[in-house]
Structure 1
């Protein structure tokens, strides 16, 4: 529980989760949302993945992420409270 709560305690990771509310997103699409480098985005995503909050799907050289379908109620409640962030998806 502590690992999951720590993972959702960061503002950048909350933004990532808000983007994922609409479905799967490529790692490259998060760069503009957070205005940080792709490696920095990947580090944020890694923490959410290690906490079991998101799932990863490789696709060529890119990775796509989505919310885990099975989340504890306390994490799902946090995600439900986030306002969706629309992003422009790339063609990767």
Structure 2
């Protein structure tokens, strides 16, 4: 019985994190892409510290991974996450966000940090 409580508790944590529109869109973008903080700053038109805070929360529970390349950190969806199947089911219900990255490419601001 305690195993179910842990599962429910973990599901509630994941749902709470993904219940935030910005974090949900970030995870949807990371479903098929690797992104840098600066790209999210451009997409969401918000501050770097705010974006970093969102990413830290997602990283801390294991939903996203980070990889350092030089002085930059790139984020991707952690498909080896223990509860990835729940995240995947949620993402299947969310519209594609690829157009946001295409807009960055068209504006010349995709990976502006590199």
Say whether the fold is shared (TM-score over 0.5).
yes
Match of 2:46 in 1: 36
CA offsets 1:27-54 (integer angstroms, 9 cap, x no match):
1100121111111100001111112110
Greater radius of gyration (CA): 2
How many residue pairs get aligned? The number is: 92
2-side partners of 1:25 and 1:84: how far apart?
A: 16
2:57 to 47, 51, 57: 47
Higher relative helix content: 2
Please report the TM-score for the alignment, with normalisation by the length of structure 2: 0.72
Gaps of 5+ in 2: 1-9, 105-109
Gaps of 5+ in 1: none
CA offsets 1:44-74 (integer angstroms, 9 cap, x no match):
0111111211000112222100000124222
1:60 to 70, 74, 85: 70
